[in-house]
A and B are shown apart, each in its own frame.
Chain A
Amino acid sequence: MSHGFHVKNETARKVSSDTFFRVFSVSVEKLLKLTVLALILLFILYPMICIFMRSLYVEDGIGFSNYAEVFFKYKENFLNSITVGISTALLCTFLSVCTALFVYTRTGKFKTALMAVILISMVAPPFVSSLAYIQLYGRRGWITYRLLGLSLNPYNAVGVVLMQSISFVPMNALFLLGILSKIDTSGIKAAQDLGARPGNILKDVVLPMMRPGIYVTLLLSFVRSLADFGTPVIIGGRFSTIASEIYLKIVGYSDLEAASTMNMFILVPSVAFFFLYRRLMNATGIMTDSQRTSTEPFSLKLGKCGLFGFTVVSAAALFFIVMALQYICIFASGFMKRKGGGYIFTTEYLHELLKYDLSTMTRSVIYALIVAVLGTFIAILFAYFTEWRRLKGRSFFDCLVTIPYMIPGTCFGIGYILAFNHKPFALTGTGIIVIANMIFKQLPTSTKLCAAAVSQIPRAQEAAVRDLGGSSLSVLKDVILPGLRPAFFGSFSYNFSTAMTTAGAVIFLINPGKKLAVFKLFDAVYSGEYAVASLISMLIIVIVLAVEGIVYLLSWKEKENVS
């Protein structure tokens, strides 16, 4: 009797704890969703609204007269932006496709080495890279002038297009390699089997499979070019785009109203392109997500691909040579001193670096780690709610999350001051605002990385978890998170390296006493101490690679432990 009673009681308790668990996990998931969406509204939409409001400020109140004024005054710059954007998109996509194809068709150690170069070139320290370009290809550049005897003037639109194209390649090439690694190689085998020559395989099988990826690269490069102010400021000379005019409006005229208005103008083509991007991304999904049977890498002798293969190899070689020269140049600048007409080797600057105050470097690393972890986590959750849970209004949120990618960093920073300098969200002067700015400035890319990975996870796994008694929170924990491990590493690396090297957006948010390493670098460049600047940037590169290496090893080890 007592035994029976006991059992009954036990069951009752079990049932109630089950229900409790379910209610609990449903509310946790709801809470997570609301938190992520609230953060996005707060840290992206709200600053954007503040920028928009600022664009309406006119002398006698509120109105749209700034728009007409800016439009007529900067028509030409808009045109310049569009021209540069299209040229950069085309050239950069060409280089990226060639580079990706080249790397994809390599095997073994050589491939690993090439991948390493691409990964290193993702950590492009600002200022110093552009100085290296000028040193190499400027009017008196080592390559153009001293080696080739050319005296080219790079300070024009062509210079802007070339420099943008080269600097966007690493990111794009990685994206395309991701697409390539997912395509079904059985198609390639079938083509080989049917007697297709390597050139035909490239043209008839590989390229068409990459097509959606190529479109996406075109769009991403275009939008990024529109928002890039650094390149035209550094190398544009008399040529200026709308982004560099925005920079001038802020730094030279402190005219926030005009800067905000110009910013809203940039958004128009960018948002239009975003929706195009979404449609194309869906197409990429169809190409790669279908029942694939074989994704093992294949080797293709590009040398046997005729003119087409030759083009691919030359363009890729060009990219890798340019990258190698750039980093050699940065490295050399740290150890070379001008003497008379030539250079001598010196460790003088290295000694200077050793005396250098490392506290800013430590702060940078800490901030970057927080940004990398939190940013990736938010990106994963966002990708989960939009891609997996198909949340209501997802195209709105997806567009919103992409906006920081579309506007110049300086504007995003100004938006943060406008938004967070007063109650109810008084955050200026804190480390939080700097970290938040970095996270949300980089969120567009990290969410795209995670969303792509989420769409790769078989949906049946969710059914399996639910079927076995797991809640949707268990799905997140046991299916989504483990499924996103590679994306986690990608997003972490991207966030970390960008947070270590970004300057444009946070310059207005950094407070005295909370400096970051990149501003030390900036100071060094500003006062003409290139050698020290080179060494600081090398230090940044080394730190970034070391941290990424550790994270990679950890994630790899964990994976091994599971087996």
Chain B
Amino acid sequence: MYLEVKGLKKCFGEKKIVDDLSFSLDKGQLMCILGSSGCGKTTTLNMIGGFLKKDSGSIVLDGEEISEKEPEERPVTTVFQSYALFPHMTVLENVTYGLKFKGIKKEKAKELGYKYLEMTGMTEYADVRIQRLSGGQQQRVALARALVIEPKLCLLDEPFSNLDAALREKLRFELKRLQRDLKMTMIFVTHDQEEAMILSDKMAIMEQGVFVQCDTPKAIYDAPASDFVRDFLKLDRIIFKEDGSILKRISE
């Protein structure tokens, strides 16, 4: 397995936020962690990204134990919910920022930056300042910035939550295409069932610090592990195609 998480635990005081979590992921796969707020999904992401110290457990990525490393030493990048773009830099400067720590020369970095801006459809904004961008555009920049350094794993923390529904849907497909093209391994945290169903190669439903069920969307659909999963996903309202993708969603 490319990513192997075993026995991950985190408590805040008495409260167990992530409780003995284990899962694995193949290279090039996108996994969604789906759950309501407070279920521990962001905490899990922060431990993988290195922003939180785990209490116990191990995270092995591409054969390497990373859980003791500083965030900057992990071959993992994050697309933050707030994007966390640098307001004093241009779009291109933001995107190429991480490359300077890889010892990549300026010219080469610029080239790479443009390549990823093109992939995200942001080429024409290369020299624009961040404040002038709309939310969706900032989102694309944040994505380009996280992907350009070619991480082994890319984490996305509810990246579309600040966008309107139409834009969300559009970006969702763009992300999926990009992920497939780059064969990027990704973990995507969301509380949006539809988003998870569409994006996931593998989907985990999280509740109170543990995965209630973790499998392909189709498998979960076919055999929900519990009534909770069935209700949470509102499975009654979704019709799948043969290949596992969603055919139709019955509105309420």
**Does A180 have its Cβ within 8 Å of any Cβ on chain B?**
no
Total cross-chain contacts (CB, 8 A): 86
Could you write out 12 A-B pairs with CB less than 8 Å apart?
Answer: A22-B72, A458-B82, A460-B81, A460-B84, A463-B80, A464-B78, A464-B86, A467-B51, A469-B101, A470-B72, A559-B88, A562-B89
A485-B88, A562-B90, A562-B129 known; A470-B50 Cβ under 8 A: no
Interface centre among B73, B78, B81, B101 (most CB of A within 10 A): B101
The answer to whether B103 touches A17 (Cβ under 8 A) is: yes
A22-B72, A461-B84, A479-B86 known; A467-B97 Cβ under 8 A: no
**Does B102 have its Cβ within 8 Å of any Cβ on chain A?**
yes
**Does A468 have its Cβ within 8 Å of any Cβ on chain B?**
yes
A468-B101, A469-B98 known; A478-B86 Cβ under 8 A: yes
Pick from A465, A471, A478, A563: contact of B90, CB below 8 A.
A563
Query: A563–B133 Cα gap in the complex (Å)?
Result: 12
Please give me the residue from chain A that is nearest to B127 by CB atom.
Answer: A563
Which residues of the other chain, A, contact B132 by a CB distance below 8 angstroms? 563
B128 to chain A, nearest CB (A): 7
**Does B77 have its Cβ within 8 Å of any Cβ on chain A?**
yes
The answer to whether A468 touches B86 (Cβ under 8 A) is: no
**Does B149 have its Cβ within 8 Å of any Cβ on chain A?**
yes
Which residues of the other chain, B, contact A474 by a CB distance below 8 angstroms? 101
A397 to chain B, nearest CB (A): 25
Query: A451–B125 Cα gap in the complex (Å)?
Result: 33
The answer to whether B98 touches A463 (Cβ under 8 A) is: no
A461-B84, A463-B71 known; A469-B90 Cβ under 8 A: no
The answer to whether B101 touches A458 (Cβ under 8 A) is: no
A476 to chain B, nearest CB (A): 13
The answer to whether A467 touches B103 (Cβ under 8 A) is: no
The answer to whether A563 touches B86 (Cβ under 8 A) is: no
Interface centre among B49, B84, B85, B93 (most CB of A within 10 A): B84
Query: A467–B71 Cα gap in the complex (Å)?
Result: 5
Interface residues of B (CB under 8 A from A): 49-51, 70-73, 76-78, 80-90, 93, 97-98, 101-103, 127-129, 132, 145-146, 149
At the interface, is chain A mostly helix, strand, loop or mixed? helix
Interface centre among B71, B76, B90 (most CB of A within 10 A): B71
Name the interface size band of chain A: 20 to 34
Pick from A21, A460, A468: contact of B97, CB below 8 A.
A468
Which A residues from 333 to 347 make CB contacts under 8 A with B?
A: none
Which residues of the other chain, A, contact B86 by a CB distance below 8 angstroms? 461, 464, 478-479, 482
A22-B72, A458-B84, A478-B97 known; A469-B102 Cβ under 8 A: yes
Query: A470–B81 Cα gap in the complex (Å)?
Result: 20
The answer to whether A463 touches B78 (Cβ under 8 A) is: yes
B227 to chain A, nearest CB (A): 36
Which residues of the other chain, A, contact B77 by a CB distance below 8 angstroms? 467-468
Please give me the residue from chain A that is nearest to B132 by CB atom.
Answer: A563
The answer to whether B76 touches A467 (Cβ under 8 A) is: yes
Please give me the residue from chain B that is nearest to A19 by CB atom.
Answer: B73
Which A residues from 431 to 480 make CB contacts under 8 A with B?
A: 458, 460-461, 463-471, 474, 478-479
Query: A559–B130 Cα gap in the complex (Å)?
Result: 13
Which residues of the other chain, A, contact B50 by a CB distance below 8 angstroms? 466-467
A466-B70, A563-B128 known; A21-B101 Cβ under 8 A: yes
Q: A467-B77, A562-B88 are in contact. List 16 more A-B contacts (CB 8 A).
A: A458-B82, A460-B81, A460-B84, A463-B51, A464-B86, A464-B145, A466-B70, A467-B78, A467-B98, A468-B98, A468-B149, A469-B102, A478-B86, A483-B87, A483-B88, A562-B90
A458-B82, A458-B84 known; A466-B71 Cβ under 8 A: yes
Which residues of the other chain, B, contact A461 by a CB distance below 8 angstroms? 84, 86
